[in-house]
Structure 1
Amino acid sequence: MQTSDFLSFLLLSKRRSFNQRAVDLRKALRLYNLLMMKRNERLRVLIAEFSSISHTLDKIQKKSKTMGIAGGTTGAVGGVTAVLGMALAPVTMGISLVATAVGAGMVASAGGMGAHTAQQAKKKIVNRTAVEKLVDEYKTNVADLEHCLDFILCAMSELRRHDIPRLRMAGAQTDALKMAHLSQCVVGNYMNSNRKGYVPHPGRMPSEGLLQAFAKEVDQYFTEKDGQKLKKSNKTRFSGRVRLLAENLQDELDHLNHMWEMFS
């Protein structure tokens, strides 16, 4: 085979590879668009549910602390002062003013009632099964999106490595050239964004990684007896950990949406 023939064959091979890579990229972009349309809102709702868990625990902690202080104070004053304290207590404490006729004994249990109410709310809303269900659902919804985005960025990086002007002269498909131009714009802007220095590679799953790390830590927050009850000493820590997870997941979802806009 002569040199000219070999070069022609090589160029033809590159053109075919270029065209096929562009076709694959276009399919991946369509899939990403479809997945974002179907799952974006659900992911937002799930993040809101994670935040709700944190807010609920914070409120329970605050309410329990307030009730504890109120119960301790009323128990210490005794007699007439205790009855007066009951009469002036806010309706929101969940105790009818009619109970003042019972006397100080009823007042002494105010703190206990508040703690019981908080305990019931916690059991109803925050338990391990509910948390793990949220983690699994979010992971299921976001995994395909992140895999797809990873493939898209890798494909775009590959297209940018081709000699576009030469392939254009060699008869590369118009759609393939459009994909190459989009790739240059997206990857160029992406590399200059706040994720500067990022090199696309398979297996990098930000949200999945966050969820897996969180799942490994769950054991330390719940009791060993049944694994469902949140340890009293860990309420504040768990609330902060869930809040951090929600914030990080929101950052990653914002990134997915930012890339979606860049692809449009």
Structure 2
Amino acid sequence: MAPSLYGLSMEEEIRTFNQRALNLKKALRLYTLLMMKRSERLRDLIAEFRSISHNLDKMQKKTKTMGIAGGTTGAVGGVTAVLGIALAPVTMGTSLIATAVGAGMVASAGGMGAHTAKANKKIVGRMAVEKLVYEYKDKIVDLGHCLDFILSEMNELRRHDIPRLQRAGAQTDALKMAHLSQFVIKNLDNAGKAFAGMLSERLLQAFAKEMDLYFSEKNCEKLKKSRESKFSGRVRLLAENLQDELDQMNRMWEMFS
């Protein structure tokens, strides 16, 4: 008969095996509960990150469009005003209307620029972004730790000689957990193993540390204009990475079932 794992007696190994399987079963229940309670909100938070990036991109395009339109309209308004003054002695009424319309168009163009700037401020603020980061981190950390524990216990269970333990009288539930462990570890690809750690937590920590690069020091709520495009891309990348890991967690949840 082959020696017992870790040099334990058969009785001690069975006891250890049964306890580890029980711990795994509890962890799987907890993981299921956490996924049921939190996965929808995590998807919503990822959607909010994507919305920030989308709105920033949209506003930048709109700002550029308004800048071009405002510049053109301003030039037309200026020409109209000059033309109106030139024609004043001949057609006083018409010239005044032309002048008024020109001035109005210039004012309108300026107004559009101001509105764009105000809207841009409302779209993203540092506190709002940090709130999303902290909420996502708060909801994902337990899931990450739970998943790491599950895979660690599965790795240990699959090291046992299962047929041998079965003959020696190991608990049926414990044997089921061991077979599940063999199945999961065997079918877990390299991408799955990479995502198994607390990747989301590390991604969010790295993102939080970079916030000073994108927001003004004097007014930390205001996004630096020169950094809007880069920040949009960075938020979009974060959302994609978080979605990848959440998808992996869901795939693993399916494997556990």
TM-score between both structures, scaled by the size of structure 2: 0.87
Residue 191 of structure 2: which of 188, 191, 195 is its match? 195
Deviations 1:207-243 (A, max 9, x none): 0000000000001100111211001101101001000
Task: Classify 1:36/1:81 alpha carbon distance in 2 versus 1 (closer, same or farther; 3 Å).
Answer: farther
* Structure 2 unmatched ranges of 5 or more: 84-96
**In the alignment, is the contact (CA less than 8 A) between 1:139 and 1:208 conserved in 2?**
yes
Deviations 1:7-51 (A, max 9, x none): x97011110000000000000000000000000000000000000
Cα deviation, residue 100, structure 1: 8.6
Structure 1 residue aligned with 2:160 = 162
CA RMSD across the alignment? 2.4
1:142 aligns with 2:140: yes
Task: Classify 1:118/1:168 alpha carbon distance in 2 versus 1 (closer, same or farther; 3 Å).
Answer: same
Q: Which amino acid aligns with 1:29?
A: L
Distance 1:57 1:100 in 2: 37
Structure 2 residue aligned with 1:94 = none
* Structure 1 unmatched ranges of 5 or more: 84-98
Task: Classify 1:187/1:9 alpha carbon distance in 2 versus 1 (closer, same or farther; 3 Å).
Answer: closer
Distance 1:246 1:147 in 2: 21
Distance 1:159 1:134 in 2: 38
SS at match of 2:170: coil
Distance 1:196 1:143 in 2: 17
**In the alignment, is the contact (CA less than 8 A) between 1:54 and 1:243 conserved in 2?**
yes
Q: Which amino acid aligns with 2:256?
A: F
Q: Which amino acid aligns with 1:117?
A: H
- After superposition, residues 200-239 of structure 1 pair within 5 angstroms as 204-239=197-232
Cα deviation, residue 122, structure 1: 2.1
TM-score between both structures, scaled by the size of structure 1: 0.84
Structure 2 residue aligned with 1:39 = 38
Distance 1:76 1:39 in 2: 55
Cα deviation, residue 74, structure 1: 1.6
Q: Which amino acid aligns with 2:200?
A: S
SS at match of 1:227: coil
- After superposition, residues 13-32 of structure 1 pair within 5 angstroms as 13-32=12-31
Distance 1:231 1:111 in 2: 23
Task: Classify 1:108/1:179 alpha carbon distance in 2 versus 1 (closer, same or farther; 3 Å).
Answer: same
Structure 1 residue aligned with 2:131 = 133
SS at match of 2:160: coil
Distance 1:115 1:210 in 2: 36
The number of residues matched between the two structures is 238
1:57 aligns with 2:53: no
Deviates more, 1:13-22 or 1:109-118: 109-118
Q: Which amino acid aligns with 1:195?
A: A
Task: Classify 1:56/1:30 alpha carbon distance in 2 versus 1 (closer, same or farther; 3 Å).
Answer: same
Deviations 1:167-217 (A, max 9, x none): 001100000000000001011000xx25277596xxx31000000000000
Structure 2 residue aligned with 1:252 = 245
Structure 1 residue aligned with 2:94 = none
Distance 1:49 1:189 in 2: 33
Task: Classify 1:149/1:213 alpha carbon distance in 2 versus 1 (closer, same or farther; 3 Å).
Answer: same
Q: Which amino acid aligns with 1:49?
A: E
